[in-house]
Structure 1
Amino acid sequence: MQAYVYKSLRKPDTYVYLRKRDDFAVMPDPVRLPLGELAFVLEVALTPERRLARADAGVVRSNLATHGFHLQFPPTMLDPLVDG
């Protein structure tokens, strides 16, 4: 599964993974708007073997398949898709 990663220019260390490049419409406005402008960072293949530095690749794949996006927050913040 391919993922497209964007960083929030408003919220430090906050990233959005999208299933389709530039498909911000999959994110509800209450989630998207507080992030401000999003800048493309990289395209990554999320295989079962892929390890990510600050996220569980399985959770990211699951959120992409279910919601079309995944939010990665700074380590000090809870992830509402996992911890909520």
Structure 2
Amino acid sequence: MSDKHLISIYRSSKREGMYVFLPRETDPATLPASLMAYFGQPVHAMDLVLTPERRLARVSAADVLAAISDQGFYLQMPPKTVETSE
């Protein structure tokens, strides 16, 4: 069995910086209704080949693949903003 997975990434139409990762063959319309109400309309951002060793900007690829295996998708939340006082 291959460790390579073809993944589609969709960005949220409601929340900047929020993304959902799905197996390429999965229709985003099959995501839970509660998630879709919060996420909004999925907008296709890109496809990529994901392996457990691949480096991603904000999360471990192994964590993404584990979540997809467990629940069918991985939801990446926007980064927390840090307020600075000047």
Q: After TM superposition, is the score higher than 0.5?
A: yes
CA shift digits 1:9-42 (9 cap, x unpaired)? 1111000101134522442111122111111011
Percent identity reads: 34
Shift of 1:48: 2.1
Shift of 1:6: 0.4
Find out whether 1:43 has 2:31 as its counterpart: no
**Distance across 2 between alignment mates of 1:71 and 1:8:** 10
The alignment's TM-score, normalised by the length of structure 2, stands at 0.79
**Distance across 2 between alignment mates of 1:57 and 1:31:** 21
**Distance across 1 between alignment mates of 2:24 and 2:37:** 19
Unpaired segments ≥5 residues, structure 1: 78-84
Runs of 4+ in 1 over 3 A off after TM superposition: none
Instruction: Give the SS at the match of 2:66.
Output: helix
Structure 1 residues 5-84: aligned runs within 5 Å:
5-21=9-25, 23-76=27-80
**Structure with the bigger percentage of helix:** 1
CA shift digits 1:31-83 (9 cap, x unpaired)? 12211111101111111221100111111000111111100011218xxxxxx
**Distance across 2 between alignment mates of 1:10 and 1:76:** 16
Report if aligned partners of 2:28, 2:42 keep a CA contact under 8 Å in 1.
no
Cα RMSD, aligned residues only: 1.7
